[in-house]
Amino acid sequence: MTSVVTSPPRTIRIGSRKSQLALVQTYWVQEQLQKSFPDITFEVHTMSTQGDKILDVALAKIGDKGLFTKELELGMLNKEIDFAVHSLKDLPTNLPAELTLAAITERENPADALVVHEKHKDKQIDTMPVGTVIGTSSLRRLAQLRHHFPHFTFKDVRGNLNTRLAKLDAGEYDALILAAAGLERLGMGDRVHQIIPKEISLHAVGQGALGIECRADDSDLLSLLKAIEHPQTRDRCLAERAFLRDLEGGCQVPIGVNTEIIDNKLTLTGIVTSVDGQKMVKDTVTGEANNAEAIGTELAHLLRQQGAQEILAEIFAVIQRGS
């Protein structure tokens, strides 16, 4: 009697940051993959990143290249984990040669949200009083809001979402600007007081989407991960990431975007703003969605011609001086 030798089912190790939001996102990915591949075991392994450990310094002053991703990438390169789940907005546009962006999941609302202290519940962002204290850790949000509301006061705010909301409720801030998607994923959608209109604040590159990163030579895993990819979100985010990459901007540089796809036409709007909000260049490019990255590159060239490079050079110089 001939015995049939079968290989044991593969166990796939998923890497995640330890934050509450990161784990919610990672467990969602695990659940989706488990539904599609019930014979495979998916294990979640957590790691702390530099961005999780340094909570008393503004992100822009730390150096943002891979702030929330480096440790996870090392885990993949050392084969401690097989793939990592990132908030796509945290994933640098240039990845290590051995790693690749394997899949992008369907996007939640990518917009920024206004979350207010109870005393301002009857206000919208354009009716908040002079001197309103706004908490944000994002140069992108800061720059755009300063442009529209120079009469506000802005303070850096770090920590996980619960910590930030506790500081708001304690009266340290009049309002916070947060990603709507993060609030929704944590079941805190009721804290969204107002979705900030795109005319006021364009969102971060990749905001609202999850990026799945894995080793570039793991063909079986690359094929498997396509099961949770959302093609339209991928096209939108690839255009945004190409735009950011061409301008050589990190996640903490005041670069904002907005994308939409209608009838396979992708429209990308991008903005570059000085930190004080005084200088701003903005434009839009439309093209075929299957040429997403070319659209992003074209828009970057347009904005560079309009002065974006000079604005970014000034910002990089300030950040390098540590001011």
Closest CA to 58 of 181, 165, 174, 141: 141
Length of the chain: 323
10 Å CB burial of residue 121 (0-12, 13-18, 19+) is exposed
Contact 276, 147 (CB under 8 A): no
Can you tell me the distance from the alpha carbon of 176 to that of 186, in angstroms, rounded to the nearest whole number?
16
Find the distance separating the first CA and the last CA of the chain, reported in whole Å: 77
Instruction: For residue 158, count other CB atoms closer than 10 A to its CB.
Output: 16
Can you tell me the distance from the alpha carbon of 8 to that of 39, in angstroms, rounded to the nearest whole number?
10
Closest CA to 291 of 269, 250, 249, 261: 261
**What is the pairing mode between strands 153-155 and 133-135?**
parallel
Can you tell me the distance from the alpha carbon of 220 to that of 299, in angstroms, rounded to the nearest whole number?
35
Closest CA to 304 of 244, 238, 247: 247
Q: Is 90 a catalytic residue?
A: yes
Catalytic residue among 64, 90, 218, 235: 90
Active site residues: 90
